Amino acid sequence: MIGVLALGYWTLAPGSNNTSENLKSTPAPTSKVTQTVSSTPMITTGADQKTITNSIGMEFVLIPVGEFDMGSPANEAGRYDDEGPVHRVKIANAFYMGKFEVTQKQWLDVMGTSPSYFNGDNLPVEQVSWNDVQEFVKKLNEKEGSNKYRLPSEAEWEYAARAGTTTRYYFGDDETKLGDYAWNGNNSGGKTHDIGQKKPNPWGLYDMYGNVWEWVQDIYQSKYNGAPTDGSAWESSGSGRVVRGGGWYRCARFCRSALRYACDPGFRGADLGFRLLRIL
């Protein structure tokens, strides 16, 4: 988001290591998600073939092929210029998307250390840079004996987040409902929360908005002119990487499906995490 975030600047969350930018109660959750960890490399497939779980308890949901309009129209409330122009993207290959953000326990299982400011096995891992995530992906693939795990592209992330919707949010246009779906600046209490406590999107993905921002693979560009239309990552010239979804202390404007931010790939912050994609 050019004009709002310059590379090298980020919101000042507890434990972050960069300069601050000053930007602007829902009922308690009724259930808590837990994940079972296996000691041997294996993939468990759901009976309907639409979900899988790997050896460290990471759950994935099958995302179907399809097409969608990426970005936001000029009349969308709260939009920024870098969300356009709207362009048609075709997702030709189905993929598995992480059902949840990667947790601290999962990071520890792969990397052997825990970098997070907030502490809890089932909290999303944070204080991880884009570069750190690439190392995690490499080690996870080695651990699983595959080459199937990676960050989603920006298009894959937005396609999965929208889940067939065309509104500001995957639950509609009414931002007053955000607290039912996301830990954000109005309900988080200034911290991250265990994964999966809010309502999922229509495709069964949790916390696509709020809790922690999520790294994607792409290099940030200030406009979508010339963007790939096949769902692949945009990795032309540039230095910043894209983050999506908003974080635990952001307002509703920053938790829209089309909202995008630029961040230095070496930056770490207490509101910055990720989820992974697994190819078929």
pLDDT digits (tens, 9 = 90+) for 17-34: 332 233 222 223 333 333
Q: What is the pLDDT of residue 46?
A: 66
Strands 87-91 and 213-219, bridge-based pairing: unpaired
Token couple for 192: 């991250």
- Which residues are within 8 A (CB) of 76 and not within 5 positions of it... i.e. 6 or more apart? 83, 168, 256, 258
Structure tokens at 78: 């709260």
Per CATH, the number for 44-279 is 3.90.1580.10
Q: Given a cut of 60, is residue 185 above it in pLDDT?
A: yes
pLDDT number for residue 104? 99
**What is the average pLDDT across 181-186?**
98
Q: Taking the model in full, what pTM does it have?
A: 0.86
Q: Is the pLDDT of residue 4 over 50?
A: no
Residue 261, H or E segment: strand 260-263
Helix axes 104-111, 130-144, angle to 10 degrees: 70
Give the H or E element holding residue 158. helix 154-162
* Per-residue pLDDT tens digits for 231-253: 999 998 898 999 999 999 999 99
User: pLDDT per residue over 215-235, tens digit each?
Assistant: 999 999 999 999 999 999 999
Task: Give the pLDDT confidence score for residue 280 in this predicted structure.
Answer: 93
Q: Report the mean per-residue pLDDT for the chain.
A: 88
What is the model's pLDDT at position 42? 61
3-state class (DSSP) for residue 83? helix
